A and B are shown apart, each in its own frame.
Chain A
């Protein structure tokens, strides 16, 4: 089964990004695919490579990038939401790309299941 995820919130402030990450990881371990995760609203902040959590805390930006690279997940950050929040190519973390909101609609159309993680 193909799962598409929508992540509405940034790392740390809400649990949404953690929950989405844990879901994606479990789905892949069970043999499913997670072809795309779309980051919208404050979710675009998950793509900020300048994020520097404390050493004893998880690094969500890196975790997403590593999961994506290992399993071919398309991590898409909405351009309009990103610009509003100052997320631009020059600070984009590994594994993410910036694209249009249409990519979310495509996700809904192409995936077997779409899940939203937010506040």
Chain B
């Protein structure tokens, strides 16, 4: 039998997290629960790339209406991520770089443009997203 450690020493730790969104919203819960993960992570002031790839680009598409099927209306919550990012960008005392990125190829393959999204995004060509993802320390996907 070994003792379980429940507290970790994370003082001063600053890592680069990537949250990978590749699935469409509503057909599964992954979009919503990854969003909850991202929101919680703000409290820890880590760097983050919130990436929308493949069908994940549909998660941030304008015009969603969860009421039609009585499902949870979580799309507006993406704006909180945008707010967190902007607060971090503006506040010199917060050392937290958040980037909300969309893979260009995923977006155009699905007939979308940056204007179709509910939040401001960086549209990155695959090669640039490749380099960005390769730099991350912790990749959480669903």
Contact = CB atoms under 8 A, between A and B. Distances in A.
B135 interface: no
Interface in A45-100: 68-74, 80-81, 97, 100
Interface string B1-24: 111111011100101010000000
A23 interface: no
B141 A118 contact: yes
A46 to B, nearest CB: 16
A20 interface: no
B83 to A, nearest CB: 19
B77 interface: no
B10 A116 contact: no
B37 A104 contact: yes
A interface, how many residues as a size bin? 20 to 34
Interface string A33-48: 0011000110000000
A110 B8 CA distance: 6
B68 interface: no
B21 to A, nearest CB: 13
B37 A116 contact: no
Interface stretch (B39-47, B104-112, B122-130): B39-47
A17 interface: no
A49 B21 CA distance: 31
B85 to A, nearest CB: 17
5 contacts: A41-B29, A70-B2, A109-B44, A109-B138, A116-B141
